[in-house]
Structure formats: C-alpha cells, structure tokens
Amino acid sequence: MSESEITLRYGFNPHQKPARLFIKEGKLPFKVLSGSPGYINMLDSLNSWQLVKELKAQLNLPAAASFKHVSPAGAAVGIPLNDVLKKAYFVEDMEMSSLSTAYARARGADRVSSYGDWAALSDTVDVPTAGIISREVSDGVIAPGYEPKALEILKKKKNGKYNVIEIDKNYLPKDTEIREVFGITFEQKRNDLVISPDMLTNIVTVNKELPESAVRDIIVATTTIKYTQSNTIGFAVDGQAIGVGAGQQSRIHCARIAGDKADRWMLRQHPTVMGLKWKQGVGRSERNNAIDLYLLERLTSMQRKNLEDTLEEIPPQLTLKEREDWLGKFTGVVLSSDAFMPFRDTVDRAYQSGVKYIVQPGGSTRDDEVIKACDEYGMVMVFTGTRLFHH
C-alpha cells in the first residue's frame, strides 16, 4: 500500500476484481490500521465520516453514525441515555462515555438494519466505545484517532480482520468532485452546504415555536438525510435519528418506511417488550430479530416458531389500541425531507409517529395544502429553500 493508493478486496461484488482506491495528487487522508476494506466499506467510511464530522462541528457534541450500503441506519450525538434506552440498546451493563453513548444511540435507532454496519465516530475512540463495537456484528470503523487500549480491543475483532481506519480530521477535499459511470465522467461542485440554525428562519405555519431541542434534532435529522440515498425522509428526537426511509421513488413510501422504523424504535421501549424473558444463550442479534418479529401485527406459524426458540414464553402481542396508546406518549419528533412534499400525505403519516416539527425545502405547487395540514395538527413547518438529494 502506497500513501496515494490502496488495493481493495473487490468492487461492489466479489467478481469485480481488481479494485483500488487512489488519489491523483498528494497522499490519502486516512490510514488502514487493521483489516482489508472493500469498495462498499470505503464508500460507507467516507460518507459516514462526513456526517459525524458535520454533526460535531454544528452541535459541539460527540457524534456517531451506523451505516449500511451507503446510507445511515442511525446517527446521533452523545446525549445521556435513560435507563429504558440503556436496556433497549443492550448497554445497561457497560461503562459509558459521551462518545460510546452517541454510538449506542446510532446503533440503537434500527438495530436490525445496523447488523454488519460501518461505524463512524467524530472523536478519538475510547475504551467504552471500542467495548460496544467489539461485541456487535460490524464490518469496520472510521475515526480521527484511537486510544491505545481501544485500538488493541478493535484489532482483536474478527481475529484481526476487522477494518479500522484512522482519518485526518483536518482533511478537506477539493471543491469539485468527479465520478465515472459507464465510461462517462461526471463533474459537480461538492455539496459543502452547512446545516445550521440559519436555515430555519422561514417558518410558514401558524405555530412558530421552535425550541432549542427541536433545532438540535432538526440539525441531526437534516445532516443525516444529507448523506442518505434519495429520496429520503428522516425522523429524529432526543439527539438521534430514529427512522430513516431511503432510496424510494415515492416520497410517501419514504415517509412510511421512516415512520414505521420510528414506531418500532418507540415500541421497543414498551414495558411488555422490555420484559421479554429470553432463553439461555440467546445473543443480542437474535434478540433484535425476535423483537422485530414480536412487533409484527400478525405472525406466521414459522415466525411464531422462531419466537418460541428464543423466548421462555410469548406474551400476547400488543393490540392496535395498546400500540396507539403507547405511540401517543411520544411527541416532539422532527421530520426532515430532502425535497419538497408534493402532497399532505407525508404530514398525515408523520402525525401518527409524534412528529411536531417538519423541515423541508418547499416549492411544491401544493405547498398551501401541506401547510394547512400542519396547521390542522398544530405542527411547526420550516421551509429551507434547499434540496439535499444524494446519490
């Protein structure tokens, strides 16, 4: 490996060899400290690093992201966890730092999707953070540095094959970015837009109250969708993304995916779910999958059999009313959209998941209808005038 080039395991797929990553001028802004990353690993790595770097710069809090296939399954900043979330994220038995809390939140947003993730950390990785990563199924991590003991822990993961990348936190790419598709070269200005409170001045609803916590969560949600494959809708609350709907051709389908994930995040904290009794030897990944099954509205005989294999007993599934009553306890959720909302259907779906604040570019011919829907629900809507497509 030279300072300007590394050989990758393979491209998008194992049959796409050879594959490499290189820089035309100077040297690469990162070092591979352990493992042998692949093409998708490096796409996840470089996208996720930008996300956490921006969150840290804007909110002055340690930030983390959990990436899968070049989109975040979760992203968060290091706000302390309550006891319920500690248990839901399987970290109630661990020493926690601000950085490890950020990663626990990022990983905990959608633990099923985060299986085999790429982790990104805004700060030097400490022992508590390395401890969480070491016991989860993960492909790799990128950070600006590692404490010696933390690096030692991570280098032992996967029998020394776990990907550990250290990036120069001061590196800035050129303003112009270039890619090649089907032998054709594309060129554009890099998306260096800063997601900041300055974007939130155009409040178009009757309700114009935007507390600091909502501003923080808007920055989390909007920075997250900035690095998510479009179309994208993102839900956030309490300093973390709780549902990301990515890569769909229809915005309402993005909203439904994000809303369903947000609902699942909320329902994971239901007392019945928190009280599930696990059979001896059932690991965290199996628990994640079992909880996901348990929260389905209907179970097939095979799905019930899978639950029987993991649980001491299967409590009655939550009724529709129990679900609605529990979800009704969650309020103050933020929704961010990477492009305008052409219909009010996204607002109607958002309301079901406790959304109080919506941020979007605006500019649809039906803006008035969408604003009216927000007013009916007492929501706050902000028009930024800025689209955030990412492909």
Q: For the chain, what is the domain count?
A: 3
Backbone angles phi, psi at 106, to 5 degrees: -60, -45
Considering the domain boundaries, does residue 325 fall inside one?
no
Residues 138 and 226 in one domain: no
Q: How far apart are CA 123 and CA 94, in angstroms?
A: 19
Residues 53 and 156 in one domain: yes
Considering the domain boundaries, does residue 68 fall inside one?
yes
Residues 309 and 358 in one domain: no
Closest CA relative to residue 165, chosen from 131, 115, 107, 120: 120
pLDDT of residue 2: 76
- Residue 382, classed as helix, strand or coil, is strand
Which residue has tokens 């690993």? 41
pLDDT of residue 27: 94
Residues 140 and 57 in one domain: yes
pLDDT of residue 1: 56
| Residue 24 structural domain | 5-167
What CATH number does the domain containing 219 carry?
3.40.140.20
Residue 121 β-bridge partners = 64
pLDDT of residue 173: 93
Residues 94 and 236 in one domain: no
Peptide bond into 289 cis (omega under 30): no
Residues 73 and 205 in one domain: no
Q: Out of 152, 167, 182, pick the residue that ends a domain.
A: 167
Considering the domain boundaries, does residue 378 fall inside one?
yes
- Residue 86, classed as helix, strand or coil, is helix
Considering the domain boundaries, does residue 177 fall inside one?
no
Considering the domain boundaries, does residue 179 fall inside one?
no
The CA distances from residue 157 to 114, 126, 154, in Å, are 17, 16, 5
- Provide the Cα torsion 351, 356, 360, 363; round to 10°: 70
- Provide the Cα torsion 292, 295, 301, 302; round to 10°: 0
Q: Out of 167, 183, 217, pick the residue that ends a domain.
A: 167
Residues 163 and 139 in one domain: yes
Residues 92 and 154 in one domain: yes
Q: Exposed (0-12), middle (13-18) or buried (19+): which is 290, by Cβ within 10 Å?
A: buried
pLDDT of residue 3: 87
Q: How far apart are CA 104 and CA 130, in angstroms?
A: 11
Q: How far apart are CA 388 and CA 227, in angstroms?
A: 9
Residues 34 and 123 in one domain: yes
Q: How far apart are CA 386 and CA 363, in angstroms?
A: 10
User: Can you give the pTM of this predicted structure?
Assistant: 0.94
Residues 199 and 342 in one domain: yes
Q: How far apart are CA 5 and CA 339, in angstroms?
A: 36
Considering the domain boundaries, does residue 208 fall inside one?
yes
Residues 201 and 261 in one domain: yes
Considering the domain boundaries, does residue 155 fall inside one?
yes
Considering the domain boundaries, does residue 229 fall inside one?
yes
Are 75 and 224 spatial neighbours (Cβ–Cβ below 8 Å)?
A: yes
Residues 129 and 60 in one domain: yes
Q: How far apart are CA 74 and CA 242, in angstroms?
A: 7
DSSP annotation string for 283-315: -HHHHHHHHHHHTSSS--HHHHHHHHHHBSS-P
Angle at 229 between CA 293 and CA 178, to 5 degrees: 150
Residue 181, phi-psi category: left (phi > 0), alpha (psi -120 to 50), beta (remainder): beta
Amino acid at 290: A
Catalytically active residues are 68-69, 231, 391
Which DSSP helix (H) or strand (E) runs through 363?
A: none
Closest CA relative to residue 327, chosen from 243, 266, 259: 266
The CA distances from residue 159 to 34, 153, 156, 268, in Å, are 11, 11, 5, 33
Mean pLDDT by 10 residues, the chain (391 residues): 87 94 92 95 97 97 96 97 95 95 96 95 98 96 98 95 96 93 93 95 97 97 96 97 95 96 96 95 92 92 92 94 95 97 95 97 95 98 96 92
pLDDT of residue 297: 86
Count of residues in the chain: 391
